[in-house]
Amino acid sequence: MALSDPKALRLYLVTDPVLCGERGVYETCRQALAAGVRTIQLRDKDASTRSLIRQSLRLASLCRQHGALLIINDRVDVALASEAGGVHLGQDDMPVGTARKILGPAAVIGASVRSREEARRAEARGADYLAANLVFATDTKQDIEGPLGMEGVGELRRASELPLIAIGGIKPSNTAEVLKAGADGIAVVSAIMAADDVEAAVEQFRRIVG
Q: Catalytic residue positions? A: 43, 112, 141
Inter-residue contact 163 to 131 (CB < 8 Å)? no
What residues have CB less than 8 Å from 99, skipping those under 6 apart? 76, 87, 89, 107, 109
Amino acid making up residue 76? V
Please choose, from the candidates 7, 3, 32, 12, the residue with its C-alpha nearest in 3D space to the C-alpha of residue 210.
7
C-alpha span between 86 and 76 (Å, rounded): 8
With H, G, I as helix, E, B as strand and everything else as coil, classify residue 210: coil
